[in-house]
Structure 1
Amino acid sequence: MTVQQALEWAFRTECAQLELPEPPDPERDQGFGFGLEYVLMQRAALGCKIDGGRYKLGDYTHEDAEVIAATVAGMPDDLGGKRMAIRVAELARAGMTPDWMPGAVPRCVPVDMKRNRYGDRAVTVVVGNERVWSRGKWRTVEVRTCPVTYQPHPKQIEAARRGYCEWWKALFWLKKGLQVGEMLREVEVAEGMPKANPGTLI
């Protein structure tokens, strides 16, 4: 399966938990205990399945799913660290791909609209007064304008595309890590990846 399918299987089907490392606490940290990655490496070196002592079959999470979750938890800081690990896990659990806003083009639209019996009209505001010569005398008239905005905003589209690319880089790192680590017993991570540049799909 692809890395995205493997993540969805681990977090959605097997309900693997993302166990992120806690921030260091000098008072509590006395150098004892082992991280999940160390435990998983020891299991791999042992070469057999360990009975974890679970009393109920429904509580069992596949060992490969735990390896995948541990790999996600080890996301490096230059790829987003804990924040990206949580995002990857949440998207996988929901079976979703980040929304990169396909086909989104900023359009100039009125800030507000009002409806009357003649239909929808843009709301205008007074920005000043002018004196004009009309019908033989000077008259004061309001100068009105229609405030506009862009929807979706270019920065919103840019942020969505950037977020997708960051997620893609995280998945690429996970794919390589799971392939090179060779810690998965039954799951094999294939080469397939989501589109690298979603902008090409517009």
Structure 2
Amino acid sequence: MKHDRNLHSRTGHLGSGRPKRSMSVQQALEWAFRIEHAQLELPEPPDPEREQGFGFGLEYVLLQRAILGCKIDGGQYKIGSYTHEDAEVIAATVAGMPDSLGGKRMAIRVAELARAGLTPDWMPGAAPRCVPVETKRNQHGERATTIVVGTERVLSRGKWRTVEVLACQVTFSPHPQQIEAARRAYDDWWRALDWVRDGLRSGAMLRDLEVMPTMPKTRPWR
């Protein structure tokens, strides 16, 4: 996991000459949710009791504000301070995550990771190891716990004796499915960031930021 990435990699310029801050999409998300404390406003589900059973998402509202030349109100969640309007646009874009990429659940996941400054744990270096299910420690050290799985008749010192057959239960840790799930979750997060990046770049609604094509590593475990 990575923390505290440099949020100001390089600058571009607006037509007016005012410099734009250039960031990767991950840096922009962390700036919006971690630094500016933007809030994720998810669209409410349709209410069948209402005459109109649908509402416009934040993305639509932001687009209409941009068309009308209105500024986005900031600071409603930050007492005594202002939430940058670019941060509000980024949050609104994340809130519009399509169901094909995880919808609301993925939007929340992306925002939470950005707010914490984290990358999903894809379990770097993890490899399944065969280990005992249970161990016990005595004066001779730590040993695997065994269980009786049957009996056998053996000839010992000229006499037939019944002896217990012992076995050690084992498992794999971490389990291959656990590693696979962690890396599948990283893939899902990466695709969500790719969608947010494309939306921010094609929408051209950011006034002071420029989102660069840079993305986190694709499948870094390879």
What RMSD, in angstroms, separates the aligned Cα atoms of the two structures?
1.9
What is the deviation of 1:48?
5.2
Between structures 1 and 2, the one with greater strand share: 2
Percent pairwise identity: 76
Measure the CA separation in 1 of the matches of 2:166 and 2:48: 65
Unaligned runs of 5+ in 1: none
What is the deviation of 1:59?
4.0
TM-score calculated relative to the size of structure 2: 0.84
- 1:35-79 Cα deviation digits (max 9, x unpaired): 32232112212335356696x873421111111011001111111
Between structures 1 and 2, the one with greater helix share: 1
Relative contact order, CA 8 A, sep 6+: which one is greater? 1
Residue identity in the other structure for 1:196: T
Query: Aligned in 2, Cα 1:24/1:51: closer, same or farther, shift over 3 Å?
Result: closer
Conserved? CA contact 2:58–2:95, under 8 Å: no
Q: Hey, what does 1:46 align to over in structure 2? A: 68
Unaligned runs of 5+ in 2: 1-22
Query: Aligned in 2, Cα 1:140/1:71: closer, same or farther, shift over 3 Å?
Result: same
1:120 and 2:151 aligned: no
Q: Hey, what does 2:18 align to over in structure 1? A: none
Q: What does residue range 100-179 of structure 1 map to in structure 2 within 5 Å?
A: 100-179=122-201
Which stretch of the first structure deviates more once superposed, 142-151 or 19-28? Answer: 19-28
TM-score calculated relative to the size of structure 1: 0.92
Q: Hey, what does 2:59 align to over in structure 1? A: 37
- 1:92-120 Cα deviation digits (max 9, x unpaired): 01110000001100000001111111111
1:98 and 2:145 aligned: no
Measure the CA separation in 2 of the matches of 1:154 and 1:52: 46
Conserved? CA contact 2:72–2:88, under 8 Å: no
Conserved? CA contact 2:148–2:164, under 8 Å: yes
Q: Hey, what does 2:38 align to over in structure 1? A: 16
Measure the CA separation in 1 of the matches of 2:32 and 2:86: 8
